[in-house]
Structure 1
């Protein structure tokens, strides 16, 4: 029985398999001198060189084209070339499907550089490209280690609804769900599928809070949807969020958890995805990127995150504007929501390290965040990263029924829709905290990609729902 290997397995075990007969399958990346096939099956960024037999039928050779899928049985040999340790001397080759060279010339599989815009136009094919296959393998490992971290720290994985009747944040536009013809007026939602107005969820946080008040530690990991017309390199209309919620946790503990968690993820990827990271690092270096990818990731692990209150941040900007005559597009005043230009200056130029900002003004934060004793700020926190900006947002939740009720009134939040959320504060409420991490943003940061559309298989953005 001839054993079948993935190319990754074969390359890793190659020195122990010299002169053994093996079977591999994959897609042809290149074909040179009618003898050398470069094969890849997606399991690794590295390719396997196949040496064709001189006795191979010329009719078969004519069918060997770039992109074709094949099965090869061959003998593992030590390579005389410097780029690979082993190669495969073919004994038998089967072509599953040959690709017309003219079709290849019109596709992103043509062996030349393509723009990311071009790759997105053929998103169904970009999994076969070096750059995108690297990103997708790293994305997988990030997702895996997120589950690993929470499992090892006693969290329970919770599936929260994708369909909701309320807006968790109280701001932003939502995608409505209905089976009715909305052209008919007036609309009677009692006749709709759910007998009420429903939307795609923007967050599973509120449901996760209720679970944490019975299970102690829970986390969600799923898709969320926001109908905001944000056509930037950091925004998607459909994206993935990780949202842990922890009972008996105060804000400081919440910040500690968030920092420990994000460092765990980066450390895990540095230890388990080095081949792909190295390829991306070399690509970024060729593009004259200022910060080397591996150095940037290692720097995150080296120092503790800088922690500073919102009020202290405003003072820093006041001082910087006076000392250096710096002018921002959005003038800095206490009570405003910090913009991207402020976040980038703080992280990239002032501290040059990830920054945790806490105790924000209550008027720019959601109703569920715990009010501080000053009556002006809430126990909120954001973690800002170089190049990305906000990567984590969280808070200590308001556990006091009367104050939560007042905050809902102040922010015009419908208490009738959230009666169940209020109810949790009447059955043994406790201090509790949580945060949200944009999964696609952490993938973007770790891979060094400039555009978030290039770290998700099929991006959903304003005016685009292709594939």
Structure 2
């Protein structure tokens, strides 16, 4: 479109564009175009069905610019503090979280089609043959024989780059990874995806306190960066998505995060006034993993700002987290922390890592994990290590937090959820 800027006769705008010539570069049939101009905005559910076209909308365009800004803020923040960026693998043999909710990577299905639908199984003879070979993969009788698979062993899409990035922390000191991760959780919520991006720094010579300080500084840096680089987009979100968004983000910058222990949080949630006001579906008793209803109540009703919960029960936390001494009631906790934010709940999870080899090997067995799968990880302690800590941040939840968008499916270009893998 070619033309000139002229004084506008309309109130509220100084100039307008007067077109002189229009050259059509790409024709569109207006009767078939899915994004017709309507009185009301297209629903987000409809836009997810045409995810390849929704970047053309004002909402997704603004989200994409903020997502880019958060990416640049991440690299700027860690680079300015001397961190090295490490590319960790997407395909792994290790389950970092120990939850077993992983996507398998295999070529055996195509081979099974060629073999009348049969996959090779381990019988007693094959088990004896495999036992002669040294390696971390030793299938038992009755299990699938993955030795004929592409990687000659079970392989999965990564749920976290943490274990791998720890290997570089032992050599390069402060490092971070930023990449896609995958969880085969059958979760149909506004906060979960099967494929999402994670930011995971690992810091040498670091305590849990240092870890929390870095995480808080990082979140505030990202918020300020987006304000500095995408203010007009934030004004759009403040007007169209969440009234008061700009004030909420400024509140994050102006105040220190609340810090309380898990035990203190449970006691607080169990006071009569909060039990009545919260009307929780699950009773907040010691030993449970706090649900979204508890996390949001703490940040939205009690403190009304980001809150850090520390020292969680060891029973539901990952094997690599450093244990605290038992409390006065003999309960075992670990040096873990979660940062909770209004509207989202958990946005960051971190911990001090167990650096003692004997203790780590004991926890791996205690959790029922296969020690052979974590031999390489234990080698990081066996051959010298230092106290270290780190955290993981779900990148899409960060974008939700900064934009006010309520559904995680609307802050990633092509969402992958149970039953949905279009485009």
- Asked whether the two chains share a fold, i.e. TM above 0.5, the reply is yes
CA distance in 2, matches of 1:118, 1:239: 21
CA distance in 2, matches of 1:316, 1:386: 17
Q: Is the 8 A contact 2:201 2:390 kept in 1?
A: yes
The answer for the alignment partner of 1:143 in structure 2 is: 71
Question: Which structure 2 segments of 5+ residues have no match?
Answer: 122-143
CA distance in 1, matches of 2:275, 2:282: 18
1:100 aligns with 2:29: yes
Candidates 56, 74, 79, aligned match of 1:128 = 56
1:404 aligns with 2:356: no
Per the TM alignment, residue 109 of structure 1 is displaced from its structure 2 partner at its CA by: 3.6
1:422 aligns with 2:386: no
Candidates 289, 307, 312, aligned match of 1:337 = 289
Candidates 181, 196, 201, aligned match of 1:224 = 181
The answer for the alignment partner of 1:32 in structure 2 is: none
Q: Is the 8 A contact 1:108 1:118 kept in 2?
A: no
Q: Is the 8 A contact 1:219 1:243 kept in 2?
A: yes
Q: Is the 8 A contact 1:108 1:122 kept in 2?
A: no
Per the TM alignment, residue 276 of structure 1 is displaced from its structure 2 partner at its CA by: 0.7
Deviations 1:58-81 (A, max 9, x none): xxxxxxxxxxxxxx3444445454
Structure with more of its chain in strand, by fraction: 1
1:210 aligns with 2:167: yes
SS across alignment from 1:173: coil
1:262 aligns with 2:262: no
Candidates 65, 90, 105, aligned match of 1:162 = 90
Aligned-residue Cα RMSD (Å) equals 1.8
Q: Is the 8 A contact 1:248 1:430 kept in 2?
A: yes
Candidates 319, 332, 338, aligned match of 1:382 = 338
1:188 aligns with 2:145: yes
Considering Cα pairs closer than 8 Å and 6+ residues apart, tell me whether 1 or 2 has the greater RCO: 2
SS across alignment from 1:103: coil
SS across alignment from 1:96: coil
Per the TM alignment, residue 318 of structure 1 is displaced from its structure 2 partner at its CA by: 2.5
1:110 aligns with 2:110: no
CA distance in 1, matches of 2:5, 2:249: 37
CA distance in 1, matches of 2:30, 2:203: 56
* TM-score (norm: length of structure 1): 0.80
Deviations 1:213-240 (A, max 9, x none): 1101111110000010001011111000
Deviations 1:51-100 (A, max 9, x none): xxxxxxxxxxxxxxxxxxxxx34444454544544444445432112212
CA distance in 2, matches of 1:427, 1:127: 49
Per the TM alignment, residue 150 of structure 1 is displaced from its structure 2 partner at its CA by: 0.7
* TM-score (norm: length of structure 2): 0.88
CA distance in 1, matches of 2:64, 2:211: 30
CA distance in 2, matches of 1:179, 1:327: 49
Per the TM alignment, residue 328 of structure 1 is displaced from its structure 2 partner at its CA by: 2.2
Per the TM alignment, residue 172 of structure 1 is displaced from its structure 2 partner at its CA by: 4.5
Aligned length: 389
Task: Provide closer, same or farther for how the CA distance between residues 238 and 323 of structure 1 changes in structure 2, counting only shifts above 3 A.
Answer: closer
